[in-house]
């Protein structure tokens, strides 16, 4: 009997190096737009998915979470952490990996890094929401928090919505200068601002993407005017917010999955029965999004498992075209499925 792994035992693995090759071959903005298309496809079939709030393990240092879902044919999950203090240690604040598997056999069909991919899918989700909620013809976006998400968000909104100006602010001027440098050859008009107030002035879209794990007030009520759209993407755990409560009370609020967002999002500041609209219903036409020019719309985004599932589906689809992956021998696959012990014993001959 052969000890060589069968094809069923080999699982494509998209390493960080593989992911960077794939992103650069496709193009960052183009890949975000492609992921956005799949996210939108999957929001349109929202009832098909298993849905549960992510499973968290909280500590004083941060959070580790598992985000599972399935559409009945394919199962997917993402493992992700959020540790704001990591920056001071020289580590990433967020790291992640994910997996897709066949529901009918339970066999995995792809394992992938998701630190880079999460940045891409977060930008893709933001732009999908803004497509339905932002003012038509918006050209200027404020980005409050210029860390790991900033450039991806900027390119997404330039590519999909035609934003031509980004106004940047971060409490750390070095973060803003990093973003200005990285965006210098994108064709965007990039403006470094010395305050959050200056950044949001004249912006039709405001994106907040800060990392501190605390109740914070990145935007005060007086900063937000009629007609603006807010993407609040930094709040993603209990005890972490970015917006003053009064902004929420003036806004029409749109969320991914209410049972998760009420725990982790900006709306954790509000009464449990405060009305919100699920984004998928807007996309399918079952609910209204932006209805008038003076309306303040807020996408209270915390990230949901279906979005990661969509991003993994996109990458799996791209592997067929670009073949950028390596095979991992992950699944024990004895010649006789009942004889796992025998397979281990026969391996003595080669070890």
Domain with CATH 3.30.1780.10 in the chain: 7-116+306-350
pLDDT value at position 211? 66
Please write the tens of the pLDDT for every residue from 270-291.
999 999 999 999 999 999 999 9
- Note the pLDDT of residue 60: 86
Cα gap 351→89, rounded to integer Å: 40
346 vs 30 pLDDT, higher one: 30
Higher pLDDT, 94 or 152: 152
Kindly state the percentage of the chain with pLDDT values over 90. 78
Q: Nearest to residue 243, comparing CAs of 269, 217, 261?
A: 217
Q: What is the pLDDT of residue 109?
A: 95
pLDDT attached to residue 93: 83
| Greatest mean pLDDT range, 3-7, 236-240, 280-284, 336-340 | 280-284
**Average of pLDDT values for 210-225?**
78
**Which pair of structure tokens corresponds to residue 271?**
């009464």
Residues serving a catalytic function are 236
Per-residue pLDDT band for 3 (boundaries 50, 70, 90) equals very low
The pLDDT, as a whole number, for residue 92 is 85
- Which structure tokens are listed for 256? 């991914």
Three-state DSSP class for 69?
Answer: strand
Q: What is the pLDDT of residue 16?
A: 97
| Residue 268 confidence (pLDDT) above 50 | yes
160-164, 210-214, 230-234: segment of lowest average pLDDT: 210-214
Query: Which pLDDT score, from 0 to 100, does residue 5 have?
Result: 45
Residue 220 pLDDT: 86
Q: Inform me whether the pLDDT recorded for 2 exceeds 60.
A: no
Mean pLDDT along residues 221-227: 93
Q: pTM value? A: 0.93
What is the rounded distance in angstroms from the CA atom of residue 223 to the CA atom of residue 22? 40
Q: Tell me what pLDDT residue 204 has.
A: 98
Computed over every residue of the chain, the mean pLDDT equals 92
CA-to-CA separations, 148 to 3, 54, 92, 241, in angstroms, rounded: 44, 22, 9, 18
- Which residues, 6+ apart, have CB-to-CB distance to 331 below 8 Å? 8, 9, 11, 107, 108
pLDDT of 192 above 80: yes
Average pLDDT of the residues in 219-243: 86
* Predicted pLDDT at 235: 61
- Answer yes or no: is pLDDT of 311 > 50: yes
214 pLDDT above the threshold of 80 = no
126-131 average pLDDT score: 98
User: What are the start and end residues of each CATH 3.40.50.720 domain in the chain?
Assistant: 126-304
CATH code, 7-116+306-350: 3.30.1780.10
Mean predicted confidence (pLDDT) in 191-202: 96
Work out the average pLDDT over 137-148.
95
Identify which has the larger pLDDT, 1 or 231. 231
At residue 332, the pLDDT reads 87
- Return the CATH superfamily for domain 126-304: NAD(P)-binding Rossmann-like Domain (3.40.50.720)
DSSP letter string, 177-240: HHHHHHTTTSS-EEEE-SSHHHHHTT-SEEEE----SSEEEEE-GGG--TT-EEEE-S--STT-
| Predicted pLDDT at 351 | 63
- Taking only the tens place, the pLDDT of each residue in 45-89 is 999 999 999 998 988 888 899 999 999 999 999 999 988 888 889
Distance CA 107, CA 40 (A): 27
């Amino acid at each position: 009997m052969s000890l060589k792994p069968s094809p069923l035992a080999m699982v494509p693995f998209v390493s960080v190096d593989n992911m960077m090759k794939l992103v650069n071959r496709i193009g960052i903005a183009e890949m975000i737009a492609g992921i956005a298309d799949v996210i939108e496809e999957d929001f349109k079939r929202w009832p098909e998915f298993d849905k549960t709030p992510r499973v968290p393990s909280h500590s004083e240092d941060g959070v580790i979470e598992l985000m599972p879902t399935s559409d009945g044919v394919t199962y997917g999950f993402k493992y992700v952490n959020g540790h704001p203090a990591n920056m001071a240690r020289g580590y990433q604040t967020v790291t992640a990996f994910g997996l897709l598997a066949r529901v009918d056999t339970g066999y995995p069909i792809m394992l992938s890094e998701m630190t880079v991919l999460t940045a891409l899918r977060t930008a893709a989700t933001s732009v999908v929401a803004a497509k339905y909620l932002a003012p038509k013809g918006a050209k200027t976006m404020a980005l409050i928090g210029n860390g790991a998400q900033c450039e991806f968000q900027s390119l997404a909104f330039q590519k999909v919505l035609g934003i031509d100006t980004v106004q940047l602010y971060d409490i750390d001027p070095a973060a803003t200068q990093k973003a200005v440098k990285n965006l210098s050859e994108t064709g965007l008009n990039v403006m470094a601002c010395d305050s959050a107030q200056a950044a949001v002035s004249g912006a039709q879209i405001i994106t907040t993407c800060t990392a501190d794990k605390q109740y914070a007030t990145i935007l005060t009520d007086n900063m937000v005017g009629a007609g603006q759209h807010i993407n609040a993407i930094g709040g993603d755990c209990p005890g972490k917010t970015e917006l003053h409560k009064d902004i929420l009370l003036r806004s029409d609020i749109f969320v991914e999955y209410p049972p998760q967002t009420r725990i982790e999002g900006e709306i954790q500041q509000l009464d449990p029965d405060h009305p919100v609209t699920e984004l998928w219903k807007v996309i399918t036409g079952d609910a209204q999004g932006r209805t008038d020019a003076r309306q303040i719309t807020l996408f209270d985004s915390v990230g949901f498992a279906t979005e990661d599932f969509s991003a993994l589906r996109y990458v799996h689809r791209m592997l067929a075209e670009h073949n950028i992956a390596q095979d991992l021998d992950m699944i024990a696959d004895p010649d006789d499925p009942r004889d796992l012990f025998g397979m281990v014993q026969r391996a003595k001959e080669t070890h």
